[in-house]
Amino acid sequence: MSEVTTYRCDVCGKLKQEANHWMRAVLIVLESYRMPVFTITGWDGVFPDGANQLHLCGMECAQKAMAKAMQKGK
């Protein structure tokens, strides 16, 4: 029996469907520069193992997540 994984948008809580155009994001601190880097990629993008990822349902939620990450960086 196969396992089914469901995803919810980490900003608005919308449930992922097949036809959605979702993205993923991660905030990584680059030790060599001692600065955070917020990266948004398509759903199939690859992040480092153990990265704390955000699941984002679309551009509006991606923009909200980026704005929140920028506020933390001040």
Q: What's residue 74's pLDDT? A: 52
Check the CA dihedral 39-17-50-53 and report its sign.
Answer: positive
| Spatial distance between the Cα atoms of 36 and 44, rounded to a whole number of angstroms | 22
- Nearest CA to 42 among 50, 32, 53, 51? 53
With tokens 């193992």, the residue in question is 49
Note the pLDDT tens digit of each residue in 41-61. Answer: 888 877 777 778 899 999 999
Q: What's residue 66's pLDDT? A: 92
Domain boundaries, the chain: 1-74
> What pTM value is reported for the model?
0.79
Note the pLDDT tens digit of each residue in 8-35. Answer: 999 999 999 877 789 999 887 777 777 7
